[in-house]
């Protein structure tokens, strides 16, 4: 499996890279960065720091600095001022490539048609821009897994919206409308249920880097949820990309609410039980290609795999 990662590192983005690095049958071909948890310059430095730390041999391209249609909003309260819980450390020794993350994605997809998978674990701005550069992107990528959305659970950044989709709702909607044949959405419906308790964290060796960066993130989740531990959103999406059978799915046509006063950024689907011959047509995006939305996952297996991945030398 050869994959392109689009990310906004980000503490759980970092864990996703640890997870992927530990999979013998996965090659990370390239990384693109995007605004989201922190400004894109910081996300890019963090991506470079992580590929250096993890010996991942992949180019890092800097992506979009702001959403398509709304002002930039970041989440340092969740990930720390430096995006890695105060442990970003020294300046990276390497630099990002000259092309943008959107250009990198379009160029790689053209060069390797139907060979590459995309794991998008930040706002979807780069993917939307890549669709403008290369409208055939849905035919060129083999599979796309996106972390985002809160379908039948509350949001995490507003009452109804999940952070990645809320950071760029227009981009997320363009991606859902693009016609990807093999699109999986890993939203809060499954990631919140993969909550890792404090004991999971405390079982990690003290000198293990993920344990250090997770301190800040776990403090945030402790105050957000009222229970200690943390939610591994992005590594669960990585795990579902690597092993689709870890999850079960609801297939539907999805859209992002762009105008709702309380619901902007929320993923929606028409989930009414409509008989096949019902006179009521489906309301939500009936013309769109169906996507798979993860509804359950094997959390115990995943958390075991993640522990193994973050403690691997
Ligand atoms: C998503 O938002 C970010 O805070 C995380 O990195 C993850 O990608 C979870 O809603
Ligand atoms: Ca992320």
Looking at all shown ligands, the one closest to residue 220's CA atom is 1
pLDDT digits (tens, 9 = 90+) for 209-239: 999 999 999 999 999 999 999 999 999 999 9
> Tell me, what's the pLDDT at 281?
85
> Does residue 121's CB lie within 6 angstroms of at least one atom of ligand 1?
yes
pLDDT digits (tens, 9 = 90+) for 145-204: 999 999 999 999 999 999 999 999 999 999 999 999 999 999 999 999 999 999 999 999
252 Cα to the center of ligand 2, angstroms: 24
25 Cα to the center of ligand 2, angstroms: 23
> Tell me, what's the pLDDT at 169?
98
Could you tell me the two tokens for 220?
Answer: 């945030």
> Does residue 239's CB lie within 6 angstroms of at least one atom of ligand 1?
no
Catalytic residue chosen out of the listed positions 35, 79, 233, 308: 233
> Does residue 161's CB lie within 6 angstroms of at least one atom of ligand 1?
no
pLDDT digits (tens, 9 = 90+) for 123-152: 999 999 999 999 999 999 999 999 999 999
> Tell me, what's the pLDDT at 313?
83
Residue 256 sits at φ, ψ, to 5 deg, of -110, 130
How far apart are alpha carbons 18 and 12 in whole angstroms? 10
How far apart are alpha carbons 121 and 103 in whole angstroms? 18
Q: Is the pLDDT of residue 36 over 90?
A: yes
Instruction: Taking residues 95-122, report their average pLDDT.
Output: 98
Residue 279 confidence class, pLDDT cut points 50, 70, 90: confident
Instruction: Taking residues 256-266, report their average pLDDT.
Output: 97
Residue 186's beta-bridge partner residues?
147
Please report where in the chains the tokens 């939307």 appear, as a residue: 128
> Tell me, what's the pLDDT at 188?
98
Instruction: Taking residues 56-79, report their average pLDDT.
Output: 98
Does the annotation count 233 as an active-site position? yes
Quote the DSSP letter at residue 161: -
> Tell me, what's the pLDDT at 59?
98
Model's pTM, two decimal places?
0.98
> Does residue 46's CB lie within 6 angstroms of at least one atom of ligand 1?
no
- Which SS3 state, helix, strand or coil, does residue 193 take? helix
């Amino acid at each position: 499996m050869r994959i392109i990662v689009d990310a906004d590192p980000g503490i759980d983005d970092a864990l996703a890279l640890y997870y992927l690095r530990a999979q013998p049958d996965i090659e990370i071909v390239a990384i693109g960065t995007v605004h989201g948890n922190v400004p894109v310059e910081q996300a890019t430095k963090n991506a470079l720091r992580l590929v250096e730390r993890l010996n991942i041999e992949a180019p890092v391209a800097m992506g979009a600095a702001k959403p398509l249609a709304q002002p930039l909003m970041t989440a340092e309260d969740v990930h720390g001022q430096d995006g890695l819980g105060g442990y970003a450390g020294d300046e990276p020794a390497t630099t990002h490539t000259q092309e943008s993350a959107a250009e990198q994605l379009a160029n790689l997809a053209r060069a390797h048609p139907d060979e590459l998978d995309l794991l998008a674990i930040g706002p979807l701005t780069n993917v939307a821009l890549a669709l403008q550069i290369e409208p055939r992107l849905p035919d060129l990528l083999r599979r796309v897994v996106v972390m985002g959305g809160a379908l039948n659970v509350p949001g995490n950044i507003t009452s109804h919206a999940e952070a990645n989709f809320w950071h760029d709702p227009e981009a997320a909607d363009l991606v859902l409308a693009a016609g990807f044949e093999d699109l999986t959405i890993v939203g809060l419906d499954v990631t919140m249920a993969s909550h890792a308790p404090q004991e999971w964290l405390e079982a990690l060796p003290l000198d293990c880097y993920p344990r250090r960066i997770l301190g800040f993130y776990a403090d945030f989740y402790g105050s957000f949820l009222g229970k200690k531990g943390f939610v591994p959103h992005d590594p669960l999406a990585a795990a579902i990309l690597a092993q689709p059978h870890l999850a079960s799915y609801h297939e539907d046509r999805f859209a992002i609410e762009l105008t709702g006063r309380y619901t902007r950024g929320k993923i929606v689907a028409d989930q009414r039980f409509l008989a096949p011959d019902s006179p009521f047509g489906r309301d939500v995006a009936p013309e769109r290609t169906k996507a798979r939305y993860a509804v359950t996952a094997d959390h115990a297996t995943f958390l075991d795999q993640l522990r193994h991945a973050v403690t691997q030398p």
